[in-house]
Structure 1
Amino acid sequence: MTYCCAMRLRDGLICISDTRTNAGVDHISVFRKLYLFGVEGERFISIQTAGNLATTQAVIGHLQNQLDLKHEPNLYSVNSMFEMAELVGHTLKRVIMDVTTDQLEQSNYHCTILLSGQIQGEDIQLYNIYPQGNFINATSDTPFFQIGESKYGKPILDRALNYNTELDEALRCGLISFDSTLRSNVSVGLPLDACIYKKDSFATPLSKRIHDDDPYFSSISKLWSDTLRQGLNGLPRPTEDYWQ
């Protein structure tokens, strides 16, 4: 399993993905699930993947091959992020269909993708692309998407994040979302890959691989645990009338 989160905010994009892939408790590996593409000054693209590793790597391989061989359409030739979502969705669906046409068996090759980025002349876009090739678009009312093992990290995002949240605050929120997931699910693990793209920059974003010895991540993880304990201790105790 995995956990990926992308946030489409007023000032830019934040993308965070874990790297753990496990095929049983005794077979754990590290694989990148956050892929960055772009043309300096013209477009920036982020792709995050969750699901069957062979499927996700085949999709990224096809997209990269289209770029290398200059086959059109490709990530750099489409005119809008919507067309790009169609391209990625079609590629994902084709990869699964190439393996099997049996709908029951296709579930074994399940994969979901978060596509985000910006093309010159457009606003930032974020799409959640399903194995069937269709997709939905993030809005100012719903500014983030999660794929993979999302349930443990969703409460903090629901409570603390909105479209106007500043990027540095949103990054902290996202990292705490991952910290909560790491503590509750062993199928999600460090290191994490994270990037911040500033709106209209059309430049290579700030990116980082966060390991278990990262001082900032360790610090906010401890502070968040301490804050939760202090908040719990500060809540009023139930009175005797409560039980009547």
Structure 2
Amino acid sequence: MTYCVGMRLNAGLVFLSDSRTNAGVDQVGTFRKQTVFEIPGDRMMVMMTAGNLSISQSIRQLVSELMDDAGHTIWTAPSVYDAARILGQAVRQVHERDARTLADFGIEFNVSIIFGGQVKGERCRLFQIYSAGNFIEAHDENTYFQIGEAKYGKPIIDRVVTPATSLDDAAKCALISMDSTLRSNVSVGLPLDLLVYEDNQLAVTHFVTIDDRNEYFQMIRRTWGDQLKSVFEGLEAPVWNAAPETPGTVLHSTSTGGKPVRVTPPASVPPPKVASPPLQTLSQQFHDGQQ
């Protein structure tokens, strides 16, 4: 019951998360899913979580204290990659401690994490961490990660975001992606946490918590919906049974056949008394209605 998206761009990083944890008919719960690990001038890292809330909380508490075999913590790791390894280790430790007990109660060990940021001396980096503690890193070919209810907000990001996208445009795209998800899935809800990080600042540069009173987000919701309707209405209606020489965008012509897959009725079913009417074109239907 969440949606989070993180983007790695040439100009920095964008993180956006909702705060809904459950959406029953008589109870709606919220919990902030975005956590910042920051030492200004040295490092700035962000973790966003989806999945079982008790697991996420345990991981967040453990990772702030955990030390790896080299004696590094998330606060002293020499790179974001090393910090991601420490976070993965925290996931595995929580799994080792809690997974069997959860399974006894029919609860799956379910958590997914977006983690990214910058440590002084290296570039911005972004990772997606799975329930097993393993992870993958974002590169130019795949510059963003989503967790939770990802399918509704994915198309706009695929069409818009590239490594060269500006931070402001990426933040705007992330908000449109979130709005699409909010409209289609009740398990995702306000308020939202939006964090925008400028490369090499080594501290949070822009952060806002967005509720239903935020004027910019309300403008995004209203304008995006209106523009989508306008584009839809501007598209031509389909043309059926057009002659082969008909110019323009034709959905179906008499030279491009195709028949539906039909199931033959059993012999016990009597044949129809009236034959089915032939298929008509939209223009035929209109013309017949004018007679």
TM range (shorter): over 0.9
Q: After superposition, where does 1:41-120 map in structure 2 within 5 Å?
A: 41-66=41-66, 72-101=71-100, 108-120=108-120
> 2:93 is matched by which residue type in structure 1?
R
| SS in structure 2 at match of 1:22 | strand
For residues 107 and 141 of structure 2, what CA distance do their matches in structure 1 show? 31
Contact 2:194 2:208 in 1 (8 A): yes
Tell me the distance in 1 between the aligned counterparts of 2:228 and 2:184. 15
Work out the CA distance in 1 between the residues paired with 2:130 and 2:153: 20
d(CA) in 2 for partners of 1:59 and 1:209? 23
CA contact (8 A) 2:102 2:108 kept: no
Aligned position for 1:158: 158
CA–CA distance in 1 between the matches of 2:40 and 2:235? 51
Bigger relative contact order, structure 1 or 2 (CA pairs below 8 A, ≥6 apart) = 1
State the alpha-carbon separation in 2 of the partners of residues 193 and 215 from structure 1. 15
Aligned-pair identity (%): 40
Query: 1:178 — aligned with what?
Result: 178
Are 2:181 and 1:187 equivalent residues in the alignment?
A: no
Would you say the 8 A contact 2:66–2:86 is kept in 1? no
Tell me by how many angstroms 1:243 deviates: 4.4
**Secondary structure at 1:59 match in 2:** helix
- 1:189-212 C-alpha deviation (Å, 9 max, x unpaired): 000001000001112231110001
CA shift, 1:59, in A, is 0.6
Runs of 4+ with >2 A deviation: 23-27, 63-67, 100-107
Aligned residues: 241
Is the CA contact 2:191–2:210 (under 8 Å) kept in the aligned structure 1? yes
Unaligned runs of 5+ in 1: none
2:141 pairs with 1:141? yes
Residue 73 of structure 1: how far off its partner (Å): 2.7
Secondary structure of 1:109's counterpart equals coil
Larger Rg: 2
Shift of 1:104: 6.1
State the Cα RMSD in Å.
Answer: 1.9
Q: Which amino acid aligns with 1:108?
A: E
Partner amino acid, structure 1, of 2:164 = N
TM-score (norm 2): 0.79
1:5 matched to which residue of 2? 5
Q: Which amino acid aligns with 1:97?
A: E
Runs of at least 5 residues in structure 2 that lack an aligned partner in the other structure: 243-250, 254-291
Aligned to 1:206: 206
Which structure is higher in helix share?
1
State the alpha-carbon separation in 2 of the partners of residues 189 and 134 from structure 1: 28
Shift of 1:24: 3.4
Shift of 1:25: 3.2
